[in-house]
Each structure stands twice: as C-alpha cells, then as structure tokens.
A = this chain, B = another copy of it.
Amino acid sequence: MDNVTPLTGRQRLILAGRRLFAEKGYSGTGVREIAAEAGVSIGLIRAHFGSKAGLREEIDRQVIAQIEELCSRATRHLGTEALELLVEDAVEWVERERDALLYLRTALMERTPGSQALLRELLRIMRRFVEINRDRGFLQEDVDEEWASIYLVIDFLGPAVLEPFSEKEFGTSMYHRDMVKRRSAFMNRVMTRGFMKS
C-alpha cells in the first residue's frame, strides 16, 4: 500500500486529511485523528498549514489543480474524436483519483470558498465540453447549452454522491468496472436518444 519513497509529514497530512474529510466531513474529523492517520504529531498541522482550516485550504487547492488538469486534457482532444475520449479520460481519472472525487463530493456539501471554486471548475469543464461539441456539430439543434452543462456536472457527481450507499443498495461499488460500463452505456443512450417516448 505504502509508496517506496517515504512521504514527508506534510504530504502524509494532506492525504490523510483528504481521506478523512471525504469520509466524515470537515467538522466530523479531529486534528488528532488526522495526525494519527498520517502517523505524525498534531503540532505538524500547525507548523505546515497554520491551522485545521489551513490544511483544508491546501487540500482544496490540490484537488482544484487536479480538476484543472482534467480540464486541460479535455481541451487537448479538441481537434479529434472529442466525445468518447473525454468520457474515457474522465472515467480513467475517477479510477485513479477516487479519493479526490470523494473529497469533492463531501466538500460540495460544505459552503467554503474552496467548495465554490471546485464547483466553478467543474462547470468550466462542462461548458467547454458543450462548446466543443457544438462547434463540431455534435450538438442537436436548439439545446439549452447552460443547462446542458449543469446537467453534465450533476451526472458527473451523481455516482460519487451515491457511492457510500452503493455497496449496500446495488451490491457493488459505483466505480466497479461493470457498473461503470453499464452506466456509460445508459448515459450514452440517454444523451443521444433519451429513454422515454414523447
């Protein structure tokens, strides 16, 4: 589980904080717990981040940076087969950065400058996505583009919101391979044809 190169106390604190905040929320997690999970002493939080809130801000910054990276990669696909590649990218990112996504989920439940920024970043990605597809003629006519973007944000976050209940309710993780496949098949269908008769 552990990496070969030993992480610094600072890095361990960030990872531990991200995981615990994601699981139990900001106010549900104590600094002693974070320090214990990171295997460092409490004092180090203050030394590096000034306070518990400072630690959260740093976590927010890093997660936002990850989202931005996902966004820039989306833009790179511009000239080619945008849609499928972007979805694949997102799926792959979610698998690789599950902790970040679950943190994102929990952060959005608390109203902080960081969570507002996180949401804004997500919206930027999705607006961009809609834009690209419109320019390439993949969008149907007379679509409410703003709501399409919001819709994409919601459906990106949806599985993360349900994930904590998924095992009990569906017998598997939302991010299990089969579940992801079923979901992307369904979403693909909905986005191109819908699933109800008019």
Contact = CB atoms under 8 A, between A and B. Distances in A.
Given A140-B196, A196-B133, A196-B140, A190 B151 contact: yes
Interface in A140-183: 140, 143-144, 146-148, 150-151, 153-155, 157-159, 161-162, 164-165, 168-170, 182-183
Interface in A43-58: none
Contact of A116 (B24, B158, B165, B190): B165
Contact of A196 (B28, B150, B169, B191): B191
Given A161-B161, A162-B119, A198 B192 contact: yes
Contacts of A187: 151
Contact of A143 (B137, B138, B195): B195
14 contacts: A24-B27, A109-B109, A111-B164, A111-B165, A140-B194, A140-B195, A144-B182, A154-B158, A154-B161, A161-B161, A189-B194, A191-B195, A192-B198, A193-B193
Interface of A: 24-28, 83, 105-106, 108-111, 115-116, 119-120, 123, 133, 137-140, 143-144, 146-148, 150-151, 153-155, 157-159, 161-162, 164-165, 168-170, 182-183, 185-187, 189-198
